[in-house]
Amino acid sequence: MLDFYLIDDHQAKPNYPEQKDLQFIGELDDQTFNRLKNKKIIADRFDYYSDFRWNTALIKQMCETIQQKQLQTDTDVKQLLSLLGIVGENQSGLIAYGD
């Protein structure tokens, strides 16, 4: 699973063992992640098996893409939107760690 945590855009990236200091908000499995990449919601540069970070600007762009493509009711997109909704409420970015 790919675990997602809230992280401020300006906060330094913590090392993996220090992630306990971050707030866990959810996860995506590899199949869902890859389907979101195929739908061009998640950019090709992000790899499920590598740690990565999404800042608030990128998250906003992803939300706009979802609206433009009218994919709000798509099952995979709904899973992503549940994570992005928490991000919006906290005005934060995301960091992902594969486990």
pLDDT digits (tens, 9 = 90+) for 60-91: 999 999 999 999 999 999 999 999 999 999 99
What is the domain count for the chain? 1
CATH of the domain at 72: 3.40.1760
Residue of 34, 30, 92, 31 whose CA lies nearest to 59? 92
Residue 21 included in any domain: yes
The residues with which 37 forms a beta bridge, in sequence order, are none
Phi–psi pair at 37, nearest 5 degrees = -65, -45
pLDDT digits (tens, 9 = 90+) for 6-39: 999 999 888 765 656 789 999 999 999 999 999 9
Between 99 and 76, the more confident residue is 76
Residue 47 included in any domain: yes
| Residue 87: predicted pLDDT | 93
| Residue 19: predicted pLDDT | 58
The residue segments making up the domain with residue 59 are 6-98
Residue 1 included in any domain: no
Residue written as tokens 């939300």? 63
Residue of 16, 31, 67, 17 whose CA lies nearest to 84? 67
